[in-house]
Amino acid sequence: MTRRVYLVVLLLCLRLMCPLATGIFMDKLASKKLCADDDCVYTISLARAEEDYNASDCRFINIKKGQLIYVYSKLVKEKGSGEFWAGSVYGEQYEDHMGTVGYFPSSLVSEQHVYQEANKTVPTT
């Protein structure tokens, strides 16, 4: 009897750990994005945050008013969704966050300098 109890407890523990191993699937923000190249690695523009933004989940980045952000892609707006861009923060005072790429609402930033046009449409993954 105790062997069965141990087996049931073990199976329950494995079941609880299963979401950690498989991940949590989230809805896509968009099915397409605009980039400067096929791999979306070249910088499109430099934007300045006009307001603070606290990331809602791991796909997004926190931005602070006045912060500069390198923009790498712009999601193609779909019905019922917001307009988001992907980028990373810039500046020595944000050194611990530099290199982290994530989404942020485009309505909270203003483009300061356009490096190249985002004229490649790429499917999101």
Residue 15 lies in a domain: no
pTM value surpassing 0.75: no
Q: Is residue 111 part of a domain?
A: yes
Whether 88 is covered by a domain: the verdict is: yes
Residue pLDDT, tens place only, 68-101: 999 999 999 887 667 999 999 876 655 565 578 8
Establish if 19 belongs to a structural domain.
no
Residues spanned by the domain of 60: 28-123
pLDDT tens, position by position, 16-75: 554 444 556 667 788 899 999 999 999 999 999 999 999 989 899 999 999 999 999 999
34-61 burial, b at 16+ Cβ within 10 Å, e below that, comes to: bbbeeebeebbbbbbbeeebeeeeeebb
Which structure tokens are listed for 115?
Answer: 């490096």
Is 108 within 8 Å of 51 (Cβ atoms)? Answer: yes
Residues 6+ apart with CB under 8 A from 56: none
In a domain, 12, yes or no: no
In a domain, 68, yes or no: yes
Contacts of 65 (CB under 8 A, 6+ apart): 49, 50, 51, 52
Tell me whether residue 86 is in a domain. yes
Contact indicator for 53, 69 with CB cutoff of 8 Å: no
Looking at the 3D structure of the chain, how many domains does it have?
1
What CATH number corresponds to the domain at position 77? 2.30.30.40
Inside any domain, residue 76 = yes
User: Can you read off the two tokens belonging to residue 18?
Assistant: 């299963």
